[in-house]
């Protein structure tokens, strides 16, 4: 996915990383950012509608962000080692349709992926293209637990290389 | 906003709390969930497109969640003290249109608010109504820094009280 706008095709999909959510980490995030009992305490969670300790939805989303940052860094380093140009990604103006489909329970492993959902040239800024990505997290049972859409400005291939 | 479905009106708005983002907290969140240099290091941030150390967008969103949990708890306790029934809120299935308009810099204070944007009865589940909320964060200069839409199932007033 670390590609220039011209080289991304709708349907391209890549895994960006995997994370196992431990009980300790779930509780630490919840204590700081989402102190609801079913994210904080096993016993209370057992009696909640979730039935067991599970991660805050913001935790599962923020974990995507960490994996994405690391993924881009690895990819950029690999391109750099090969002496290839590194595509620019503009900052994200936001996300759409953030959905939590299933709880992420303590011990669950979530595999995150990103897929090109749409792309179009930017009319006003010819050095950039706009790419829409569908981002997903899938647990060890193959169930989608989180998804959201993002839009990024992606740099176009330098003229010199065309 | 801790009200039964019948008592919420489109346009109702309430502040839920305020938070000052310190440099230390911005860096701690970024280290764990969004390790981009402009969230981690003042000097690197000065040379970035943001111009100064600023919070991860996920950090400003997750802070809304913490304030909302505390707000609901305070409101529920106040109702309980007055012997009034406490409206039920179902778990959120997700958010829409999460937008970051401006960076939140170290030292900025963000005031969070929530407003009833739409409401409708649930046809399939008569004990619940569906309420759409517009959630915002506004900095000390009066600029909206973050906004998103949420939808919640909100309990209807118990029959006994009608």
Output the pLDDT for position B140: 98
C-alpha–C-alpha distance, residues A139 and A81, integer Å: 33
C-alpha–C-alpha distance, residues B111 and B64, integer Å: 9
Nearest to B36 by CA among B17, B22, B21, B49: B49
Nearest to B136 by CA among B118, B117, B116, B113: B113
A-B contacts (CB, under 8 Å): 72
Is the pLDDT at A162 greater than 70, yes or no?
no
Residues sharing a CB contact under 8 Å with residue A104, sequence separation 6 or more, in sequence order: A21, A54, A55, A59, A60, A110, A137, A139, A145, A146
Instruction: Determine, for residues A62 and B100 on separate chains, whether the beta-carbon distance falls below 8 Å.
Output: no
Among the listed ranges A3-17, A41-55, A78-92, B64-78, which one has the minimum average pLDDT value?
A78-92
The shortest C-alpha distance from A62 to chain B (Å) reads 6
Which tens digit of pLDDT belongs to each residue from B111-159? 999 999 999 988 888 888 999 999 999 999 999 999 999 998 899 987 6
Output the pLDDT for position A87: 86
Q: How far is CA A56 from CA A84, A89, A145, B62, B91, in A?
A: 39, 28, 12, 10, 11
Chain A neighbors of B91, CB-CB under 8 A:
49-50
C-alpha–C-alpha distance, residues A73 and A86, integer Å: 10
Output the pLDDT for position B5: 92
Among the listed ranges A109-118, B1-10, B31-40, which one has the minimum average pLDDT value?
B1-10
Chain A neighbors of B93, CB-CB under 8 A:
99-100
Residues sharing a CB contact under 8 Å with residue A76, sequence separation 6 or more, in sequence order: A2, A86
Question: How many other C-beta atoms can be found within 10 angstroms of the C-beta atom of residue B98?
Answer: 25
Question: How many other C-beta atoms can be found within 10 angstroms of the C-beta atom of residue A115?
Answer: 15
Output the pLDDT for position A161: 44
Which tens digit of pLDDT belongs to each residue from A7-23? 999 999 999 999 999 99
Burial level of B41, CB count in 10 A (0-12/13-18/19+)? middle
Residues paired with B99 in a beta bridge:
A94, B147
The shortest C-alpha distance from B69 to chain A (Å) reads 7
pLDDT, averaged across chain A: 92
A41 in reach of chain B (CB within 8 A) = no
Which tens digit of pLDDT belongs to each residue from B10-41? 999 999 999 999 999 999 999 999 999 999 99
Considering only alpha carbons, which residue of chain A is nearest residue B37?
A69
Query: Are the C-beta atoms of residues B109 and B19 closer than 8 Å to each other?
Result: yes
Phi and psi at residue A72, to the nearest 5°: -65, -40
C-alpha–C-alpha distance, residues B134 and A46, integer Å: 31
B51 in reach of chain A (CB within 8 A) = no
Output the pLDDT for position A123: 84
Q: What b/e readout covers A25-51, taking b as 16+ CB neighbours within 10 angstroms?
A: bbbebbebbbbbebbbeeeebeebebe
Q: What b/e readout covers A60-99, taking b as 16+ CB neighbours within 10 angstroms?
A: bbbbbbbbbbebbeebeeeeeeeeeeebebeebebbbebb
Is the pLDDT at A90 greater than 80, yes or no?
no
Is the pLDDT at A94 greater than 90, yes or no?
no
The pLDDT-based confidence of B160 (bands split at 50, 70, 90) is very low
Question: How many other C-beta atoms can be found within 10 angstroms of the C-beta atom of residue B84?
Answer: 12
The pLDDT-based confidence of B162 (bands split at 50, 70, 90) is very low
Output the pLDDT for position A41: 97
Percentage with pLDDT > 90 across chain A: 78
Query: Are the C-beta atoms of residues A148 and A98 closer than 8 Å to each other?
Result: yes
β-strands A94-100, A144-155 pairing = antiparallel
From 3.40.50.1220, 3.10.129.10, 3.40.50.970, 3.40.50.150, which CATH number describes the B5-161 domain?
3.10.129.10
Residue appearing with tokens 């900095």: B139
Chain A neighbors of B58, CB-CB under 8 A:
58, 61-62, 65
Question: What would the mean pLDDT of A129-135 be, rounded to a whole number?
Answer: 94
Output the pLDDT for position B139: 98
Is the pLDDT at A37 greater than 70, yes or no?
yes
Chain B neighbors of A58, CB-CB under 8 A:
58, 61-62, 65
Say which of B34, B49, B92 has its CB closest to residue A62. Answer: B34
Structure ipTM over 0.90, yes or no:
no
Which tens digit of pLDDT belongs to each residue from B73-113? 999 999 999 999 888 887 777 889 999 999 999 999 999 99
β-strands A128-138, A144-155 pairing = antiparallel
pTM of the model: 0.89
């Amino acid at each position: 996915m670390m590609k220039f706008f011209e080289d991304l095709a709708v349907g391209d999909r890549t895994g960006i990383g995997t994370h196992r959510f431990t009980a300790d980490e779930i509780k630490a995030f919840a204590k700081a950012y989402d102190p609801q009992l079913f994210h904080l305490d096993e016993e209370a969670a057992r009696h909640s509608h979730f039935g067991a300790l599970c991660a805050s939805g913001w935790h599962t989303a923020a974990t995507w962000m960490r994996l994405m940052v690391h993924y881009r860094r690895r990819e950029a380093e690999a391109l750099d080692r090969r002496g290839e140009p590194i595509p620019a990604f503009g900052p994200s103006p936001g996300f759409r349709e953030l959905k939590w489909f299933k709880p992420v329970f303590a011990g669950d492993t979530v595999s995150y992926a990103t897929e090109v959902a749409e792309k179009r040239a930017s009319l006003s800024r010819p050095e950039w293209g706009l790419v829409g990505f569908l981002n997903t997290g899938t647990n060890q049972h193959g169930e989608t637990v989180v998804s959201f859409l993002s839009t990024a400005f992606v740099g176009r291939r330098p003229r010199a290389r065309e």
